Structure 1
Amino acid sequence: MRIAILSDIHANREAFDAVLEAVQNLAPDQLVLLGDLVGYGPDPVYVVEKAAGLVGSGAFCIMGNHDEAAAFGRADMTENARVSIEWTRKQVGREHLDFLARLPLSLRSEDRLYVHASAERPEKWVYIRDIGAAERCLSSSDARFVFCGHTHIPAIYYALPGARPIHFSPLGNVAAPLSELRRHLIVVGAVGQPRDGNPAACFALLNTERREVTMVRVPYDHEATARKIEASGLPAWLGMRLKIGR
């Protein structure tokens, strides 16, 4: 089985479209969206409607912290994030907010758990940035694979039973093996706002038969998105960071 796993689209139409074209060419068996459809970017209506259409066609989709903030008006966030959520709520309609509000915090499919931030109290939006956070995430679920986003930086943590996880930074477009003996926590990077120094959009392609995962990098017209951010009146830094991948 081949599963395409996307996270942190952040209302970036250009990145989302480029990634969906790549996904279509790969023709996976399942598509999963790990949340943060909105926030930061200039096209929340387009992205939410596109995501809703994909869900209607069988895709999985879960809630991210920016989706929660938009749906319920909560904005305990950084200044740029708060401003973008307030702007987003003025752009979208009730039907878009209702779609975001109905999204689950996590989904389980066979031996795979999908969550936006961490299996450790998903509603608290914990960042997995180190071994300790990865260990707490894995100990909070018995799933063999946990997939998440939230940090915008692709990473893989491997763990033998009773041992601390080991961190691995996967290379773009290079398959990373998944051990049959280990459990795995896979942070899939970001479609709409990469922060690992590479401005190309990122998503994960899991191949369960070959026991491997690939962080697929997809270049897109981030200059066009940055221009739209500037024209919308959103903070200029949100466009600049797309250009530098930070």
Structure 2
Amino acid sequence: MRHAVVTDVHGDTARLRAVLEGIREQRVDRVVCLGDVFECRVGKREVDGYEFGGRLADVFDPDPELARLLDGVLLVRGNQEERIRALVPDHRLPEWTRPLLDAPLEHRTGFALYCHGHPLPWRELEPGLWCPAEADFPGRALVHGHHHRSALYRLWPGGTGPVRVERLPLRFGTPVPLAPDGRYVVNVGSVTRCAPDRGPSPVWAVVDEAAATVTYHRAPVPPSAQPTEKQ
């Protein structure tokens, strides 16, 4: 099965539309969204003690176009969705938000674990470069978002020591084979605009489980996309 994987939209409808248009040109069996579709306007340090004042727009931008664009997509929730769910009383949430806010934390196949990534055990490989190297996952690959960087790592068991992490080169549009005896971490990259040192956006990845390859893709930035800084 070929999965087209998108993640970290953060309310950027124009860029999401551009990515989905690019995906239509690929022969995929399923589209998977790994969460952070919304952008919560209440910071994680402000959640404790927050009282909902009655306006959804104070918490997030309730844009039903996001749900329409992702209709039929396999959804996984991210930390933004979890925060919104914690801040807004259930009865104040529009019905169209529920598939996004109540999506499962992960999707598993025999080949890979697909998740947003926020609960994973992250290790800083070098300043600003993080990888969930110690994560426990079934199959050959861990496919995640959250870090807003297109990156591919092979994990080498270190015996009693830490797992050795090898960052693999990738070129957009070129499939990278995943060895049958290897374990890999696939950081998809983000739909929304990210910091320059994290690479291009909007991006997505195609995970071909039958061929055991991952291919990174990028879409042109639509003129209507507004520059935003997200995390």
Using the size of structure 1 for normalisation, the TM-score is 0.71
Question: What is residue 181 of structure 1 aligned with on the other side?
Answer: 181
Q: Structure 1 residues 129 and 155, CA, compared in 2 at 3 Å: closer, same or farther?
A: farther
CA deviation map 1:155-181 (0-9, x unaligned): 111023445221235232232221122
| Cα pair 1:172 1:215 within 8 Å, conserved | yes
2:125 is matched with 130
Shift of 1:210: 3.3
Q: Which residue of 1 aligns with 2:167?
A: 167
For 2:220, the equivalent position in structure 1 comes to: 219
Counterpart amino acid of residue 99 in structure 1 = P
Give the partner amino acid of 2:33: L
- Aligned-residue CA RMSD (Å): 2.9
- 1:99 is displaced (CA, Å) by 2.5
Question: When you count strand as a share of all residues, which structure comes out higher?
Answer: 2
**Structure 1 residues not aligned, in runs of 5+:** 75-88, 227-238
Q: Percentage identity across aligned positions?
A: 23
* Residues 1:65 and 2:79 aligned together: yes
Is the 8 Å Cα contact of residues 194 and 202 (structure 1) preserved in structure 2? Answer: no
The 2-side partners of 1:147 and 1:60 are apart by 14
In structure 2, distance between residues paired with 1:127 and 1:96: 33
Question: In structure 2, what is the Cα distance between the partners aligned to 1:165 and 1:180?
Answer: 17
Aligned residue type for 1:219: P
Q: Higher helix share goes to which structure?
A: 1
| Residues in 2 aligned to 1:141 and 1:14: alpha-carbon distance in whole angstroms | 33
Once residues 35 and 70 of structure 1 are traced to their aligned partners in structure 2, the CA distance between those partners, rounded to angstroms, is 12
- Please state how far the C-alpha of 1:13 moved relative to its aligned partner: 1.3
Q: Tell me the residue number matched to 1:158.
A: 154
CA distance in 1, matches of 2:208, 2:151: 17
SS in 2 for 1:26: coil
CA, structure 1 residues 100+184, in 2 after alignment: closer, same or farther (shift >3 Å)? same
Match of 1:48 in 2: 67
Question: In structure 1, what is the Cα distance between the partners aligned to 2:124 and 2:171?
Answer: 18
Query: 1: distance between equivalents of 2:188 and 2:9?
Result: 12
Give the equivalent residue in structure 2 for 1:116. 116
Query: How much does 1:48 deviate?
Result: 2.6
Query: How much has 1:10 moved relative to structure 2?
Result: 1.3
Structure 1 residues 177-216: aligned runs within 5 Å: 177-197=177-197, 198-216=199-217
> Cα–Cα, structure 1 residues 30 and 8, in superposed 2: closer, same or farther, change >3 Å?
same
Aligned pair in 2 of structure 1 residues 240, 23: CA closer, same or farther (>3 Å)? closer
CA-CA distance at 1:220 after TM superposition? 2.3
Letter of the 2:24 counterpart: Q
Partner amino acid, structure 1, of 2:125 = D
Matched with 1:22 is 22
Divergent runs of 4+, >4 A: 40-43, 125-129, 196-199
Count residues with an aligned counterpart.
202
Q: Which residue does 1:101 correspond to in 2?
A: 101
Instruction: Say whether the 8 Å CA contact 1:127–1:151 is kept in structure 2.
Output: no
> What is the alpha-carbon distance in structure 1 between the residues aligned to residue 124 and residue 96 of structure 2?
31
Separation (CA, whole Å) in 2 of partners of 1:25 and 1:11: 23
1-structure distance, mates of 2:9, 2:24: 17
> Which blocks of at least 5 consecutive residues in structure 2 are unaligned?
41-59
